[in-house]
Amino acid sequence: MILSDIRKYLSENRIVSLKDLSVHFDIEPDAMQGMLQEWIRKGKVRKCSGEPHCSYACAQCSDPAAMELYEWT
């Protein structure tokens, strides 16, 4: 059931950070990465390359899970 929930969340939000997914589903980032790998393997999700650049001083860049983005394709 969780894989279908992830599919729905990603398809509705299009591009989502690992941190947002982990918080939304209350799952550790490592466990979420494993579930995302299943969708990546099926060609439905891709890990976005590159890091977004911003001029904000929010310090979210220091959290790797906040910078790891996934896109429903």
pLDDT one-digit tens code per residue, 7-41:
999 999 999 999 999 999 999 999 999 999 999 99
Q: Domains (ranges, CATH) in the chain?
A: 2-72 (1.10.10.10)
pLDDT at 51: 56
How high is the pLDDT of residue 16?
Answer: 93
Q: Helix, strand or coil for residue 55? A: coil
Asked whether the beta carbons of 39 and 7 are under 8 A apart, the reply is: yes
The pair of three-digit structure tokens given for residue 21, joined into one six-digit string: 């997914």
Alpha-carbon distance 14 to 12, whole Å? 6
Q: What confidence score (pLDDT) does residue 12 get?
A: 96
